[in-house]
Structure 1
Amino acid sequence: MYAAVVHTFDSVPNYEIFDLLQPSGKNEVLVDVLAAGFHPRVRSQANGSHYTSTNQLPLIPGIDGVGRLPDGQLVYFVTPDKFLGTFAEKAVIDLRRSVPLTENANPINIAAAMNPAMSSWVALRRRIDFQPGQKLLVLGATGNSGQMAVQIAKLLGASQVIGAGRDPERLESLPALGADATVSLAGDPKEAANRLGQAASEVDVVIDYLWGKPAERAMLPILMKRSDRSRKLSWIQIGSIAGPTAAVPSVALRSANFQVLGSGQGSVTTAGYLAEFPALIDVITAGKLKVNASPVPLSEVGNVWRAPVKNGKRIVFVPTI
């Protein structure tokens, strides 16, 4: 079969012939891959930097996809194997990590949306007791996952969603996705943190895709301006594109009802993720989330791997178009 293959962690995948994989467990089956999303999580998998990396090479990147079972059933699946993924014509999947799709489901949209949407969906439904009417800040709302988080927060009943990010064009697009207000993080970092404090002091939840210095600087300005510091603020750390560490001021934890927690593999069980798949798939299939998918032939993987992605599109690799 043809596949995208990583031979060294400092090089792009090569499109080449790879030995056809074979199922080995009683719940495994070989599927035809129809679409697989090119997520940031896949980049860290392919360069060996993700915390789940086994450093095993050669590696086929790709962590999820839409495929067709031998009996014709369409499924969305996540791969259990950390080094033989979904960027290939075929993939071995564990049926326990798959959910059936209806024939009217769009494989491209499902493959593009599930991973970025799942982060905030699971965070709000599995990590905290999120209630309709609560207010929410999305830190890093101009990325694909952040844009999904804005939409999902509204779908789940948030009374106010504030989107914060650096990209001015994407910030301008957030109200159309459901954002009630936006905050620019461009310019002087301290001034940006103060803007967040002014705009988001009354939120109940922060969905944080940035972490690092932006999160570190924003905590106290937000907390100190709250009208009631005893009202809980849950800060959910999901991504760390601005840095892997952030110093949490001790006074933030003592002077306010401030909860810092994470959401991701390990903090939520595999069973917990799987339980959320059907409802999220229904939302995507029903067209309730705006999906900016861009299908690309898998044979072009080497050419597009490091190319900038324009207009916030999510690349989806397909074996054939």
Structure 2
Amino acid sequence: MNTIRAALVETYGEPPRYSSILEPHPEAGGEVVDVLAVGVHPVTRGAAAGLHYASPDRLPMVPGVDGVVRRADGSLAFVIARDTGTLAERILLNPARAIPVPGGADPAIVAATMNPLMSSWVVLRARVPFTPGQSVLVLGATGNAGSMAVKVAQHLGAGRVVAAGRNRARLDALVDDGADHVVPLTSDLEATGTALAASAADVDVVLDYVWGAPAEHAMRAILSARTDPAQVLDWVHIGSTGGDAIALDGAAIRSHALRISGSGFGSVSPSVYRNELPDAAAAVASGALVVRPRRYALADVEEAWAHVDEPGERTVIVL
């Protein structure tokens, strides 16, 4: 039987190896496509390490949760993997999960950008009733996904964007990317709460990439300072860099129009991705929303796995 080259995880906690697997074959409801570029995202690393809820129960596994592919008709598509990893020369694709990518787009840029972009894009387009002119707080704005969320909010018409994060230099740079106000998240909880209350008391949506204790303190500060407690505040949990749990006083929900939800694989249906991501891919292809790719060949996957991305950069395997 024919084989193809792929990355293969054989032991959790170790980087994938450059290896060979059986070549996929077309089957009813599926087509074989050529993989062009795959982003090495935090979720990709976490799933391959057995630390994510999307991690498979058995090894070996081909890592990769998404990628850019070329279909048989020559068109490009972005795919989100559900049943198979993407770090292989060819994969079996469910055509219903193919998001069109404009011809001429750089596959590596699309692969680097779509994952950090789509969390905020999907929230603002489909998970909450966001309308242009409303205000957005990005909590954890100095990571790749958080900094992209600032750009996405501005791109989708937010009237005001507040960026909060720990890296002061990165925060200051976000002013050029659409942030109207920046709030440093520091160990001084009182000063941080005062700053959040001053800048974000009446925001409409919070995109929370932090969660944990920092989100608890931010939530208390913002709710206590809201001008109108009946004004709806959509607080959307996306990431957990600050911890996996929060303690929430029930009075906060009874006394304020606070709606807490989450957004991620499982809570967002494939139909939402199909409907919302073509416009996101077009924005990436146009250059409006871009993360810089750090390119590696598939044969260098172990080196790629060891690379630590700089701000605004994402490791991408180019096939």
> Is the structural similarity TM-score above 0.5?
yes
Q: Does 1:201 align with 2:180?
A: no
Amino acid at match of 1:53: S
RMSD of the TM alignment (CA)?
1.5
Residue 31 of structure 2, aligned match among 18, 29, 32 = 29
Distance, in Å, in 2 between the alignment partners of 1:187 and 1:312 is 25
Shift of 1:70: 2.7
8 Å CA contact 2:211, 2:240 repeated in 1: yes
Range with bigger deviation, 173-182 or 285-294: 285-294
Aligned to 1:227: 227
Distance, in Å, in 2 between the alignment partners of 1:49 and 1:240 is 13
Amino acid at match of 1:87: L
Shift of 1:99: 2.7
- Aligned length, in residue pairs: 316
Distance, in Å, in 2 between the alignment partners of 1:190 and 1:315 is 37
8 Å CA contact 1:205, 1:235 repeated in 2: yes
Distance, in Å, in 1 between the alignment partners of 2:189 and 2:7 is 40
Shift of 1:190: 4.0
Amino acid at match of 2:10: H
Aligned to 2:74: 72
Aligned to 1:55: 57
Secondary structure of the corresponding residue to residue 77 of structure 1:
strand
Deviations 1:2-39 (A, max 9, x none): 2111111111111122222333x312122111101111
Gaps of 5+ in 2: none
Deviations 1:69-104 (A, max 9, x none): 2332222212231xx311122222111110333322
Deviations 1:88-142 (A, max 9, x none): 2222211111033332222111111111111011111111110111111000111
Distance, in Å, in 2 between the alignment partners of 1:285 and 1:57 is 35
Distance, in Å, in 2 between the alignment partners of 1:230 and 1:138 is 21
Q: If the length of structure 1 is used for normalisation, what is the TM-score?
A: 0.94
Deviations 1:209-263 (A, max 9, x none): 1101110111111011111111111100111121111112222112211111111
Amino acid at match of 2:221: P
Closer, same or farther in 2 for the Cα pair 1:135/1:102, shift >3 Å? closer
Amino acid at match of 1:56: R
8 Å CA contact 2:100, 2:281 repeated in 1: no
Q: If the length of structure 2 is used for normalisation, what is the TM-score?
A: 0.95
Distance, in Å, in 2 between the alignment partners of 1:112 and 1:292 is 7
Distance, in Å, in 1 between the alignment partners of 2:17 and 2:229 is 53
Amino acid at match of 1:99: I
What is the percent sequence identity of the aligned residues? 43
Q: Does 1:4 align with 2:7?
A: yes
Gaps of 5+ in 1: none
Amino acid at match of 1:179: A
